[in-house]
Structure 1
Amino acid sequence: MARVLTRFTSVRLLKLALPLIPTHGFTRAALAESVLALPASSQHTAPLSDTAVSALFGEGDDARRTLINAWLAEGISQMGKTPSSAPPLGQASPRPSIRDILHQRLRYNEQALQYLPEAFACLATPTSITSMMLTPLDPVPAVKHAVGIADEACCVSGDQSLQLSWYARRAALAGIYTAAELHQLASPKTAHAFLDSLLASSSKLHASVEEVGLFGGYVMKSWQGIIRSSGIF
């Protein structure tokens, strides 16, 4: 373990663990096997020990949360790489549209879709016994997730809303993306069409969200409350 701790940073191993998520899920095993993907000059022949995983990424489910948050952060960074049509010679590349950016973010989910309900539940589970007694699930990670995606979509698309419009725009997009993502978990094949329908007619958002029940009562009600407060319907 000492060799690992002195030669390799957790950031480097987290990057190597991300491609393992489609097969290993958001697990400590994915983090343990990340070391096997190091280049030949730093090659390891065995996965990290459980003690090493805890030392690098956190005890118990904290290590899983570290991996989940790294995967979410990578999803945000990929939004800035949304392809757009080639510009005419001598002209700058056009910025992608909000629609294209949000569709790209839904596609990012597809590689780990089967693991997302459990991953989001892990993030929403309070880490202390005291917090767990006060609230069974914490809605804050869901809020940060949706708002982060909305904000990045606006930045990448070049949205220039000001003052109150700035907040309203992001609140609306956070609500739309949240509903589309929840729909994606229940019906992956129709998620993109569903997103288009919400973007075209945000008044449908209220009814559509109420059809989704994958995250349990408390988180679902919290997410619905966030969407309602955005004032987009």
Structure 2
Amino acid sequence: MYRTAAKRLFLGSSFRCISNSRLKFRPFQTVISFSGFSTSANSQTFSNQSPSAYPGAENPNFSDSKTPRAEYQDEQARLLQASLPHVIKLGWSEAALIAGARDVSLSPSIIGSFPRKEAALVEFFMDDCLERLIDRIDSDDGLKSLIPSDRIAKLIRIRLEMQVPYISKWPQALSIQAQPLNVPTSFKQRAMLIDEIWHAAGDNTSDIDWYVKRTVLGGIYSTTEIYMLTDSSSDFRDTWAFLDARVKDAFDLQKTVQEAKYLAEAVGAGMGSSLQGFVRSVFRG
């Protein structure tokens, strides 16, 4: 899941949703690359490097691997996967885990292997959704024809649609993620998601843009996610309209920032010339 600088941030620390989990990598596959959202006036293409100043950064020319999914032990993974359908009625709870264990003929005692039972279930779901999103990015040729803003909106929609079956229980999931013990993993998983979406849009910037763009996109994702919880329109029509408007606003703002920067540079150059002329006239006098 880490195809840019986020990978180097998190690989330095152990990322585990459950005990004894490991990370595995898939071979890197090239994705679409083109010019897109940038707050730099002269940025017309994206760099292939990640921010070297980012904590834990390595050689910026390091070849990124295809991003990892947490590799759960077989029985634990079977249990978590089998528990997800029960979340719809039982919530993100130990009761859902017990029901899942029965479905796959496992002893409920295996639930004791999860230090944070409800959180493990939410985190497994988040990992699984991100892996499915990556698979969609790699396989959906239709994404290649979309402009950057439409591609980003499409990817956010694809990801949020994965939560639709659990929408009535999603406030509970957000509450679990917000608990102090779960915040670090929740933050990492959301950062991985945002980084993956920007990477799919062709972004590998290495300057302050990297942080700005991910902050903006993280805000768009979170506000749309919250809006979705109160949306009663058919097939979440209002949510997707809200999402499209937020993405459009972000790209319009980026354009405005660029134009203002060009103007400032032009005015600055003009003032510089005027100041130089004034200084010369003073000394000539």
Residue in structure 2 matching 1:56, options 103, 113, 117? 113
**CA shift at 1:25, angstroms?**
2.1
State the partner residue of 1:17.
Answer: 83
State the partner residue of 2:166.
Answer: 112
State the partner residue of 1:68.
Answer: 122
- Asked if residue 187 in structure 1 is aligned to residue 231 in structure 2, the reply is yes
Please give the root-mean-square deviation of Cα atoms over the aligned residues, in Å.
Answer: 3.1
Normalising to structure 2: TM-score of the pair? Answer: 0.52
Q: Which one has the largest radius of gyration?
A: 2
CA distance in 1, matches of 2:76, 2:205: 38
More helix by share: 1
Contact residue 177 and residue 183 of structure 2 kept, 8 A = no
5+ residue gaps, structure 1, are 1-6, 39-43, 88-92, 128-137, 206-233
Change (3 A) 1:19 1:203: same
5+ residue gaps, structure 2, are 1-72, 254-285
**CA shift at 1:145, angstroms?**
4.8
Change (3 A) 1:142 1:204: farther
State the partner residue of 2:152.
Answer: 98
**CA shift at 1:176, angstroms?**
0.8
Normalising to structure 1: TM-score of the pair? Answer: 0.62
**CA shift at 1:197, angstroms?**
0.6
State the partner residue of 2:178.
Answer: 124
Contact residue 127 and residue 189 of structure 2 kept, 8 A = no
Change (3 A) 1:204 1:147: farther
> Larger relative contact order (C-alpha < 8 A, sep ≥ 6)?
2
SS in 1 for 2:135: coil
CA distance in 1, matches of 2:185, 2:229: 17
Identical residues among aligned pairs (%):
22
State the partner residue of 1:149.
Answer: 193
Contact residue 124 and residue 139 of structure 1 kept, 8 A = yes
Contact residue 91 and residue 172 of structure 2 kept, 8 A = no
CA distance in 1, matches of 2:140, 2:79: 34
Which runs of 4 or more aligned residues in structure 1 lie more than 6 Å from their structure 2 counterparts after TM superposition?
Answer: none
CA distance in 2, matches of 1:178, 1:142: 13
Change (3 A) 1:13 1:86: same
